[in-house]
A = this chain, B = another copy of it.
Amino acid sequence: MTEFMDVHHGMKGITDEQLREAHRADLAIESEESVHFKQAWADPESGTVYCLSEAPSAEAVQRIHERTGHPADEIHPVPLTV
């Protein structure tokens, strides 16, 4: 399993409730792809959302995000952490 950071653009004005709801939707089906979404951070002003997960592949992360209606614009493996 690898950690991934994925980035969503164009989420201007996202609210706390919308972020929670999107995260809940991902968590509800993540196990079908052996993904676990760990944390997410949002900047409503620029419309950027960062999402940290542990997953077998970037494709698995994207399949979950697509099924819940918010495909990522970028997905980076982040094998190094500190």
Residues of A within 8 A of B (CB): 3, 5, 14-16, 19-20, 23, 39-46, 48, 50, 52, 76-82
Residues of B near A16 (CB, < 8 A) are: 80
Shortest distance from the beta carbon of A44 to any chain B beta carbon, whole Å: 7
- Bound complex: CA of A16 vs CA of B82, how far in Å? 8
Contact across chains for A5 and B43 when beta carbons are under 8 A apart? yes
A82 to chain B: which residues have CB within 8 Å? 19-20, 23, 39-40
Instruction: Indicate which residue in B5, B44, B77, B78 contacts A79 across the interface (CB closer than 8 Å).
Output: B44
Looking at the assembled complex, report how far the CB atom of A45 sits from the nearest CB atom of chain B, in whole angstroms.
Answer: 7
Kindly list chain B residues whose C-beta atoms are within 8 Å of the C-beta of A19: 80-82
